[in-house]
Structure 1
Amino acid sequence: MFTGIITAIGTVGEARQQGDTRLRIACPYDTARIDIGASIACSGVCLTVVERGEGWFAVDVSGETISRTVPGQWSAGRRLNLELAMKLGDELGGHIVTGHVDAVGTVAIRDERGGSVHLEIDAPAGMAPFIAGKGSITVDGVSLTVNAVNDLPDGTARFALNIIPHTAEVTTLGALRVGDVVNLEIDVLARYLKRMQSLQG
Protein backbone atom coordinates (compact mmCIF):
# COMPACT_ATOMS: atom_id res chain seq x y z
CA MET A 1 0.00 0.00 0.00
CA PHE A 2 1.21 3.49 -0.89
CA THR A 3 0.15 7.12 -0.45
CA GLY A 4 1.14 8.67 -3.79
CA ILE A 5 3.78 10.90 -2.16
CA ILE A 6 6.91 10.44 -4.26
CA THR A 7 10.16 10.16 -2.31
CA ALA A 8 12.70 9.81 -5.14
CA ILE A 9 13.19 9.62 -8.88
CA GLY A 10 14.94 6.52 -10.18
CA THR A 11 16.41 5.75 -13.58
CA VAL A 12 16.24 2.43 -15.41
CA GLY A 13 19.87 1.52 -15.96
CA GLU A 14 19.43 -1.91 -17.48
CA ALA A 15 16.52 -3.94 -18.82
CA ARG A 16 17.02 -7.55 -19.80
CA GLN A 17 14.76 -10.45 -20.70
CA GLN A 18 14.92 -13.53 -18.51
CA GLY A 19 11.35 -14.79 -18.70
CA ASP A 20 9.95 -11.55 -17.31
CA THR A 21 11.83 -8.29 -17.82
CA ARG A 22 14.48 -7.72 -15.12
CA LEU A 23 15.08 -4.03 -14.46
CA ARG A 24 17.97 -2.53 -12.55
CA ILE A 25 16.90 0.88 -11.25
CA ALA A 26 19.38 3.45 -9.95
CA CYS A 27 18.06 5.51 -7.05
CA PRO A 28 19.18 7.74 -4.16
CA TYR A 29 17.74 5.44 -1.47
CA ASP A 30 19.93 3.73 1.12
CA THR A 31 19.35 0.39 -0.56
CA ALA A 32 21.03 -1.54 2.28
CA ARG A 33 17.88 -0.76 4.26
CA ILE A 34 15.54 -2.16 1.58
CA ASP A 35 14.62 -5.80 2.13
CA ILE A 36 14.53 -8.35 -0.66
CA GLY A 37 10.81 -8.90 -1.24
CA ALA A 38 9.91 -5.31 -0.34
CA SER A 39 7.41 -3.43 -2.50
CA ILE A 40 8.32 -0.21 -4.32
CA ALA A 41 5.91 1.76 -6.50
CA CYS A 42 7.62 2.64 -9.78
CA SER A 43 5.63 5.36 -11.57
CA GLY A 44 2.50 3.95 -10.00
CA VAL A 45 3.25 0.24 -10.42
CA CYS A 46 3.82 -1.91 -7.34
CA LEU A 47 6.90 -4.05 -7.96
CA THR A 48 8.87 -6.46 -5.77
CA VAL A 49 12.58 -5.98 -5.04
CA VAL A 50 14.44 -9.12 -6.12
CA GLU A 51 18.05 -7.84 -5.94
CA ARG A 52 19.79 -4.80 -4.56
CA GLY A 53 23.21 -3.20 -4.41
CA GLU A 54 24.71 0.15 -3.53
CA GLY A 55 22.51 2.78 -5.16
CA TRP A 56 20.29 0.38 -7.09
CA PHE A 57 17.59 -2.26 -6.81
CA ALA A 58 16.18 -4.76 -9.30
CA VAL A 59 12.62 -5.82 -10.03
CA ASP A 60 10.92 -8.24 -12.43
CA VAL A 61 8.18 -6.80 -14.64
CA SER A 62 5.73 -9.31 -16.10
CA GLY A 63 4.35 -9.23 -19.62
CA GLU A 64 0.92 -8.47 -18.15
CA THR A 65 2.27 -5.38 -16.39
CA ILE A 66 4.07 -4.20 -19.52
CA SER A 67 0.88 -4.58 -21.57
CA ARG A 68 -1.14 -2.43 -19.16
CA THR A 69 1.29 0.41 -18.51
CA VAL A 70 2.89 3.24 -20.48
CA PRO A 71 4.64 1.88 -23.59
CA GLY A 72 8.42 2.15 -23.33
CA GLN A 73 8.31 2.89 -19.61
CA TRP A 74 10.47 -0.09 -18.78
CA SER A 75 13.36 0.72 -21.13
CA ALA A 76 16.88 1.85 -20.22
CA GLY A 77 17.16 5.55 -19.43
CA ARG A 78 13.54 6.07 -18.38
CA ARG A 79 12.98 8.11 -15.22
CA LEU A 80 10.51 6.66 -12.71
CA ASN A 81 8.70 8.16 -9.73
CA LEU A 82 9.54 6.01 -6.69
CA GLU A 83 7.72 5.44 -3.42
CA LEU A 84 8.51 2.89 -0.72
CA ALA A 85 5.55 0.98 0.71
CA MET A 86 3.98 2.69 3.70
CA LYS A 87 4.40 1.29 7.18
CA LEU A 88 1.65 1.05 9.76
CA GLY A 89 1.56 4.40 11.53
CA ASP A 90 3.03 6.41 8.63
CA GLU A 91 1.40 9.71 7.78
CA LEU A 92 -1.14 9.34 4.96
CA GLY A 93 -0.12 12.49 3.11
CA GLY A 94 -1.81 11.69 -0.20
CA HIS A 95 -4.53 9.05 -0.52
CA ILE A 96 -4.66 5.26 -0.45
CA VAL A 97 -2.83 3.96 -3.52
CA THR A 98 -2.59 0.26 -4.37
CA GLY A 99 0.01 0.40 -7.12
CA HIS A 100 -2.34 -1.32 -9.60
CA VAL A 101 -2.63 0.67 -12.82
CA ASP A 102 -6.18 0.88 -14.18
CA ALA A 103 -5.48 2.50 -17.54
CA VAL A 104 -3.17 4.70 -19.54
CA GLY A 105 -4.14 8.34 -20.15
CA THR A 106 -2.87 10.92 -22.64
CA VAL A 107 -1.84 14.51 -21.92
CA ALA A 108 -4.16 16.68 -24.02
CA ILE A 109 -3.30 20.17 -22.70
CA ARG A 110 -0.28 21.59 -20.87
CA ASP A 111 0.29 25.20 -19.98
CA GLU A 112 1.70 27.41 -17.25
CA ARG A 113 -0.75 29.09 -14.89
CA GLY A 114 0.44 31.26 -12.04
CA GLY A 115 3.74 29.43 -11.70
CA SER A 116 2.14 26.00 -11.70
CA VAL A 117 1.73 23.51 -14.53
CA HIS A 118 -1.85 23.02 -15.69
CA LEU A 119 -2.46 19.58 -17.20
CA GLU A 120 -5.54 18.12 -18.83
CA ILE A 121 -5.48 14.37 -19.36
CA ASP A 122 -7.78 12.20 -21.45
CA ALA A 123 -8.83 8.98 -19.72
CA PRO A 124 -10.56 6.03 -21.43
CA ALA A 125 -14.31 5.55 -21.19
CA GLY A 126 -14.00 2.75 -18.65
CA MET A 127 -12.45 5.15 -16.16
CA ALA A 128 -14.86 8.05 -16.70
CA PRO A 129 -17.37 7.06 -13.97
CA PHE A 130 -14.59 6.94 -11.37
CA ILE A 131 -13.19 10.45 -11.89
CA ALA A 132 -14.80 13.32 -9.98
CA GLY A 133 -13.98 16.95 -9.40
CA LYS A 134 -12.11 17.42 -6.08
CA GLY A 135 -11.61 13.65 -5.94
CA SER A 136 -8.24 11.89 -5.91
CA ILE A 137 -6.41 10.20 -8.78
CA THR A 138 -2.91 8.77 -9.16
CA VAL A 139 -0.88 9.84 -12.21
CA ASP A 140 2.44 8.01 -12.69
CA GLY A 141 2.35 7.18 -8.99
CA VAL A 142 1.64 10.75 -7.82
CA SER A 143 -1.43 11.44 -5.66
CA LEU A 144 -3.29 14.42 -7.13
CA THR A 145 -6.60 16.24 -6.74
CA VAL A 146 -8.84 16.49 -9.79
CA ASN A 147 -9.69 20.16 -10.37
CA ALA A 148 -12.45 19.48 -12.90
CA VAL A 149 -13.68 16.72 -15.18
CA ASN A 150 -15.49 16.90 -18.51
CA ASP A 151 -17.25 13.96 -20.10
CA LEU A 152 -16.53 13.92 -23.83
CA PRO A 153 -18.99 12.82 -26.56
CA ASP A 154 -17.13 9.55 -27.19
CA GLY A 155 -17.56 8.47 -23.56
CA THR A 156 -14.02 9.32 -22.48
CA ALA A 157 -13.25 11.87 -19.79
CA ARG A 158 -10.84 14.81 -19.74
CA PHE A 159 -9.74 15.86 -16.28
CA ALA A 160 -7.69 18.84 -15.15
CA LEU A 161 -4.83 18.94 -12.65
CA ASN A 162 -2.67 21.66 -11.12
CA ILE A 163 0.96 20.65 -10.59
CA ILE A 164 2.57 23.00 -8.09
CA PRO A 165 6.27 23.88 -8.59
CA HIS A 166 7.42 21.53 -5.80
CA THR A 167 5.61 18.54 -7.31
CA ALA A 168 6.87 19.42 -10.80
CA GLU A 169 10.44 19.49 -9.46
CA VAL A 170 10.48 16.29 -7.38
CA THR A 171 8.51 14.07 -9.79
CA THR A 172 8.54 13.41 -13.52
CA LEU A 173 5.25 15.30 -14.02
CA GLY A 174 6.94 18.65 -14.64
CA ALA A 175 8.50 17.25 -17.83
CA LEU A 176 5.22 16.01 -19.35
CA ARG A 177 4.26 17.37 -22.77
CA VAL A 178 1.13 17.15 -24.92
CA GLY A 179 0.84 13.64 -26.34
CA ASP A 180 2.75 11.96 -23.51
CA VAL A 181 1.05 8.98 -21.91
CA VAL A 182 0.77 8.32 -18.17
CA ASN A 183 -0.26 5.52 -15.82
CA LEU A 184 -3.60 6.14 -14.08
CA GLU A 185 -5.04 4.58 -10.93
CA ILE A 186 -8.49 5.53 -9.71
CA ASP A 187 -9.26 6.21 -6.07
CA VAL A 188 -9.91 2.87 -4.37
CA LEU A 189 -12.95 4.36 -2.59
CA ALA A 190 -14.48 5.28 -5.96
CA ARG A 191 -13.94 1.69 -7.10
CA TYR A 192 -15.91 0.25 -4.20
CA LEU A 193 -18.68 2.85 -4.47
CA LYS A 194 -19.12 2.02 -8.16
CA ARG A 195 -19.35 -1.69 -7.33
CA MET A 196 -21.95 -1.05 -4.61
CA GLN A 197 -24.01 1.07 -7.00
CA SER A 198 -23.93 -1.63 -9.66
CA LEU A 199 -25.18 -4.25 -7.19
CA GLN A 200 -27.96 -1.97 -5.98
CA GLY A 201 -29.00 -1.23 -9.55
Structure 2
Amino acid sequence: MFTGIIQSVGRIGKIEPRGGDTRLSIQVGKLDMADVQLGDSIAVNGVCLTAVRFDQQSFDADVSVETLRVTTLGSLHVGAPVNLEKALTPTTRLGGHLVSGHVDGIGEVISKKEAARAWQYTLRAPQAIKRYIAQKGSICVDGISLTVNAVHDTDFELTIVPHTQNETTIAHWQVGTQVNLEVDLLARYLERLLQAGGDEIRDNSLTTALLTRAGFITGQP
Protein backbone atom coordinates (compact mmCIF):
# COMPACT_ATOMS: atom_id res chain seq x y z
CA MET A 1 0.00 0.00 0.00
CA PHE A 2 1.04 3.58 -0.70
CA THR A 3 -0.16 7.12 0.04
CA GLY A 4 0.23 8.83 -3.33
CA ILE A 5 2.74 11.31 -1.88
CA ILE A 6 5.74 11.19 -4.21
CA GLN A 7 9.11 10.84 -2.47
CA SER A 8 11.39 11.26 -5.46
CA VAL A 9 11.45 11.67 -9.22
CA GLY A 10 13.77 8.98 -10.57
CA ARG A 11 14.74 8.04 -14.11
CA ILE A 12 14.76 4.87 -16.17
CA GLY A 13 18.37 3.73 -16.31
CA LYS A 14 18.05 0.54 -18.34
CA ILE A 15 15.33 -1.47 -20.10
CA GLU A 16 16.16 -5.14 -20.56
CA PRO A 17 13.74 -7.44 -22.46
CA ARG A 18 13.58 -10.87 -20.83
CA GLY A 19 11.62 -13.62 -22.57
CA GLY A 20 8.59 -11.48 -23.33
CA ASP A 21 8.55 -9.39 -20.21
CA THR A 22 10.98 -6.66 -19.09
CA ARG A 23 13.43 -5.84 -16.33
CA LEU A 24 13.72 -2.14 -15.51
CA SER A 25 16.65 -0.53 -13.78
CA ILE A 26 15.52 2.68 -12.11
CA GLN A 27 17.77 5.46 -10.84
CA VAL A 28 16.17 6.63 -7.59
CA GLY A 29 17.29 10.24 -7.33
CA LYS A 30 16.79 11.48 -3.76
CA LEU A 31 14.80 8.40 -2.62
CA ASP A 32 16.28 7.12 0.66
CA MET A 33 17.16 3.46 0.13
CA ALA A 34 18.65 2.91 3.60
CA ASP A 35 15.66 0.90 4.86
CA VAL A 36 14.88 -0.95 1.62
CA GLN A 37 15.15 -4.74 1.61
CA LEU A 38 15.14 -7.25 -1.22
CA GLY A 39 11.54 -7.93 -2.22
CA ASP A 40 10.19 -4.59 -1.00
CA SER A 41 7.48 -2.83 -3.01
CA ILE A 42 8.20 0.50 -4.66
CA ALA A 43 5.60 2.35 -6.72
CA VAL A 44 6.88 3.53 -10.12
CA ASN A 45 4.44 5.95 -11.77
CA GLY A 46 1.77 4.40 -9.58
CA VAL A 47 2.62 0.78 -10.44
CA CYS A 48 3.60 -1.46 -7.52
CA LEU A 49 6.89 -3.17 -8.44
CA THR A 50 9.13 -5.53 -6.46
CA ALA A 51 12.80 -4.66 -5.96
CA VAL A 52 14.86 -7.67 -7.10
CA ARG A 53 18.20 -5.82 -6.81
CA PHE A 54 19.08 -2.49 -5.26
CA ASP A 55 21.82 -0.21 -4.05
CA GLN A 56 21.80 3.40 -2.85
CA GLN A 57 21.46 4.80 -6.38
CA SER A 58 19.10 2.41 -8.17
CA PHE A 59 16.95 -0.70 -8.07
CA ASP A 60 15.83 -3.33 -10.57
CA ALA A 61 12.29 -4.67 -10.97
CA ASP A 62 10.69 -7.20 -13.29
CA VAL A 63 7.59 -6.06 -15.18
CA SER A 64 5.21 -8.77 -16.37
CA VAL A 65 3.51 -8.92 -19.76
CA GLU A 66 0.18 -8.07 -18.09
CA THR A 67 1.62 -5.00 -16.37
CA LEU A 68 3.18 -3.84 -19.64
CA ARG A 69 -0.21 -4.25 -21.30
CA VAL A 70 -2.36 -2.33 -18.82
CA THR A 71 0.03 0.48 -17.76
CA THR A 72 2.30 3.04 -19.39
CA LEU A 73 5.49 1.31 -18.23
CA GLY A 74 5.88 -0.39 -21.60
CA SER A 75 6.15 2.96 -23.36
CA LEU A 76 8.92 4.38 -21.17
CA HIS A 77 12.36 5.04 -22.62
CA VAL A 78 15.80 5.22 -21.05
CA GLY A 79 16.08 8.56 -19.26
CA ALA A 80 12.32 8.98 -18.79
CA PRO A 81 11.39 10.55 -15.43
CA VAL A 82 9.22 8.47 -13.08
CA ASN A 83 7.47 9.13 -9.77
CA LEU A 84 8.74 6.95 -6.91
CA GLU A 85 7.23 6.07 -3.53
CA LYS A 86 8.21 3.35 -1.07
CA ALA A 87 5.44 1.30 0.51
CA LEU A 88 3.87 2.87 3.59
CA THR A 89 4.60 1.64 7.12
CA PRO A 90 2.35 1.72 10.24
CA THR A 91 3.99 5.03 11.21
CA THR A 92 3.70 6.69 7.79
CA ARG A 93 1.69 9.91 7.64
CA LEU A 94 -1.24 9.34 5.29
CA GLY A 95 -0.94 12.68 3.54
CA GLY A 96 -2.72 11.51 0.40
CA HIS A 97 -5.13 8.56 0.27
CA LEU A 98 -4.79 4.78 0.33
CA VAL A 99 -3.27 3.62 -2.96
CA SER A 100 -2.75 -0.03 -3.91
CA GLY A 101 -0.40 0.41 -6.85
CA HIS A 102 -2.77 -1.58 -9.08
CA VAL A 103 -3.59 0.48 -12.16
CA ASP A 104 -7.22 0.54 -13.34
CA GLY A 105 -6.63 2.13 -16.73
CA ILE A 106 -4.61 4.51 -18.86
CA GLY A 107 -5.73 8.11 -19.13
CA GLU A 108 -4.62 10.95 -21.40
CA VAL A 109 -3.93 14.64 -20.85
CA ILE A 110 -6.25 16.55 -23.20
CA SER A 111 -5.71 20.13 -22.05
CA LYS A 112 -3.29 22.20 -19.97
CA LYS A 113 -3.55 25.84 -18.97
CA GLU A 114 -2.20 28.22 -16.36
CA ALA A 115 -4.43 29.15 -13.40
CA ALA A 116 -2.64 31.94 -11.48
CA ARG A 117 0.44 30.20 -10.01
CA ALA A 118 -1.10 26.75 -10.48
CA TRP A 119 -1.81 24.68 -13.57
CA GLN A 120 -5.17 23.24 -14.58
CA TYR A 121 -5.22 19.96 -16.45
CA THR A 122 -8.07 18.05 -18.05
CA LEU A 123 -7.59 14.31 -18.37
CA ARG A 124 -9.68 11.70 -20.20
CA ALA A 125 -10.29 8.38 -18.46
CA PRO A 126 -11.30 5.07 -20.05
CA GLN A 127 -15.07 4.61 -20.30
CA ALA A 128 -14.92 1.59 -17.98
CA ILE A 129 -13.71 3.55 -14.95
CA LYS A 130 -15.50 6.89 -15.31
CA ARG A 131 -18.16 5.84 -12.78
CA TYR A 132 -15.52 5.73 -10.03
CA ILE A 133 -14.38 9.34 -10.52
CA ALA A 134 -16.25 11.86 -8.38
CA GLN A 135 -16.00 15.61 -7.96
CA LYS A 136 -13.86 16.41 -4.90
CA GLY A 137 -12.95 12.74 -4.66
CA SER A 138 -9.44 11.29 -4.80
CA ILE A 139 -7.69 9.73 -7.78
CA CYS A 140 -4.16 8.45 -8.21
CA VAL A 141 -2.47 9.65 -11.43
CA ASP A 142 0.98 8.23 -12.17
CA GLY A 143 1.25 7.45 -8.47
CA ILE A 144 0.24 10.95 -7.31
CA SER A 145 -2.71 11.40 -4.95
CA LEU A 146 -4.82 14.19 -6.46
CA THR A 147 -8.25 15.77 -5.89
CA VAL A 148 -10.76 15.85 -8.74
CA ASN A 149 -12.12 19.38 -9.23
CA ALA A 150 -14.80 18.61 -11.82
CA VAL A 151 -16.10 15.69 -13.88
CA HIS A 152 -17.58 15.80 -17.38
CA ASP A 153 -18.48 12.29 -18.58
CA THR A 154 -15.05 10.64 -19.10
CA ASP A 155 -13.11 13.91 -18.66
CA PHE A 156 -12.03 15.23 -15.27
CA GLU A 157 -10.16 18.33 -14.13
CA LEU A 158 -7.20 18.71 -11.79
CA THR A 159 -5.62 21.85 -10.36
CA ILE A 160 -1.93 21.36 -9.59
CA VAL A 161 -0.17 23.66 -7.13
CA PRO A 162 3.44 24.72 -7.81
CA HIS A 163 4.99 22.31 -5.26
CA THR A 164 3.30 19.25 -6.81
CA GLN A 165 4.11 20.50 -10.31
CA ASN A 166 7.79 20.85 -9.43
CA GLU A 167 8.26 17.71 -7.31
CA THR A 168 6.62 15.15 -9.61
CA THR A 169 6.58 14.22 -13.29
CA ILE A 170 3.58 16.51 -13.83
CA ALA A 171 6.11 19.14 -14.90
CA HIS A 172 6.64 16.99 -18.03
CA TRP A 173 2.96 16.53 -18.91
CA GLN A 174 1.83 17.84 -22.27
CA VAL A 175 -1.37 17.39 -24.26
CA GLY A 176 -1.31 13.76 -25.38
CA THR A 177 0.72 12.46 -22.42
CA GLN A 178 -0.60 9.09 -21.24
CA VAL A 179 -0.84 8.41 -17.50
CA ASN A 180 -1.67 5.54 -15.16
CA LEU A 181 -4.97 5.90 -13.30
CA GLU A 182 -6.00 4.18 -10.07
CA VAL A 183 -9.44 4.98 -8.67
CA ASP A 184 -10.24 5.37 -4.98
CA LEU A 185 -10.36 2.03 -3.15
CA LEU A 186 -13.58 3.04 -1.38
CA ALA A 187 -15.32 3.47 -4.73
CA ARG A 188 -14.38 -0.09 -5.71
CA TYR A 189 -15.64 -1.61 -2.47
CA LEU A 190 -18.83 0.41 -2.47
CA GLU A 191 -19.63 -0.83 -5.97
CA ARG A 192 -19.01 -4.41 -4.82
CA LEU A 193 -21.32 -3.84 -1.87
CA LEU A 194 -24.04 -2.60 -4.20
CA GLN A 195 -23.58 -5.59 -6.49
CA ALA A 196 -23.78 -8.01 -3.56
CA GLY A 197 -26.84 -6.39 -2.02
CA GLY A 198 -29.29 -8.34 -4.12
CA ASP A 199 -32.96 -7.54 -3.62
CA GLU A 200 -32.17 -4.97 -0.92
CA ILE A 201 -30.75 -2.48 -3.39
CA ARG A 202 -32.36 -3.30 -6.71
CA ASP A 203 -34.10 0.06 -6.50
CA ASN A 204 -30.64 1.74 -6.29
CA SER A 205 -31.28 2.83 -2.70
CA LEU A 206 -28.40 2.68 -0.24
CA THR A 207 -29.71 2.68 3.31
CA THR A 208 -28.03 3.20 6.67
CA ALA A 209 -29.22 -0.25 7.71
CA LEU A 210 -27.54 -1.88 4.72
CA LEU A 211 -24.26 -0.05 5.34
CA THR A 212 -24.38 -1.03 9.02
CA ARG A 213 -24.89 -4.72 8.21
CA ALA A 214 -21.99 -4.56 5.75
CA GLY A 215 -19.70 -3.12 8.43
CA PHE A 216 -19.31 0.35 6.92
CA ILE A 217 -21.07 1.96 9.92
CA THR A 218 -20.41 0.90 13.50
CA GLY A 219 -21.36 2.16 16.95
CA GLN A 220 -23.92 4.78 17.90
CA PRO A 221 -24.21 8.23 16.35
TM-score interval, normalised by the smaller of the two chains: over 0.9
Contact preservation (8 Å) 1:163, 1:174: no
Asked if residue 177 in structure 1 is aligned to residue 174 in structure 2, the reply is yes
TM-score (norm 2): 0.85
Contact preservation (8 Å) 1:8, 1:83: yes
Pairwise CA distance, 1:72: 4.3
Tell me the percent identity. Answer: 46
- State how far apart, in whole Å, the 1-side matches of 2:73 and 2:95 are: 29
Contact preservation (8 Å) 1:30, 1:55: no
Contact preservation (8 Å) 1:117, 1:174: no
Q: Aligned pair in 2 of structure 1 residues 122, 142: CA closer, same or farther (>3 Å)?
A: same
Equivalent position amino acid for 2:14 in 1? E
Contact preservation (8 Å) 2:31, 2:84: no
**Stretch of structure 1 that moved more, 25-34 or 179-188:** 25-34
- State how far apart, in whole Å, the 2-side matches of 1:58 and 1:125 are: 33
Per the alignment, residue 137 of structure 2 pairs with: 135
- State how far apart, in whole Å, the 1-side matches of 2:56 and 2:124 are: 39
Equivalent position amino acid for 1:177 in 2? Q
1:106-185 aligned at under 5 Å gives the runs 106-151=108-153, 157-185=154-182
- State how far apart, in whole Å, the 2-side matches of 1:24 and 1:87 are: 24
- State how far apart, in whole Å, the 2-side matches of 1:196 and 1:128 are: 18
- State how far apart, in whole Å, the 1-side matches of 2:22 and 2:76 are: 8
Q: Aligned pair in 2 of structure 1 residues 119, 76: CA closer, same or farther (>3 Å)?
A: same
Identify, as 1 or 2, the structure richer in strand.
1
Segments of 5+ residues of structure 1 without an aligned counterpart are: 152-156
For residue 95 of structure 1, give the secondary structure of its aligned residue in structure 2: coil
1:190 is aligned, of 175, 187, 191, to: 187
Contact preservation (8 Å) 2:38, 2:52: yes
Pairwise CA distance, 1:77: 1.4
- State how far apart, in whole Å, the 2-side matches of 1:170 and 1:54 are: 20
**Stretch of structure 1 that moved more, 20-29 or 78-87:** 20-29
Number of aligned positions between the proteins? 196
Larger radius of gyration: 2
Contact preservation (8 Å) 1:69, 1:104: yes
Pairwise CA distance, 1:7: 0.3
- State how far apart, in whole Å, the 1-side matches of 2:105 and 2:116 are: 30
RMSD: 1.2
Asked if residue 25 in structure 1 is aligned to residue 22 in structure 2, the reply is no
- State how far apart, in whole Å, the 2-side matches of 1:119 and 1:190 are: 23
Runs of 4+ aligned residues of structure 1 deviating over 3 Å after TM superposition are: 71-74
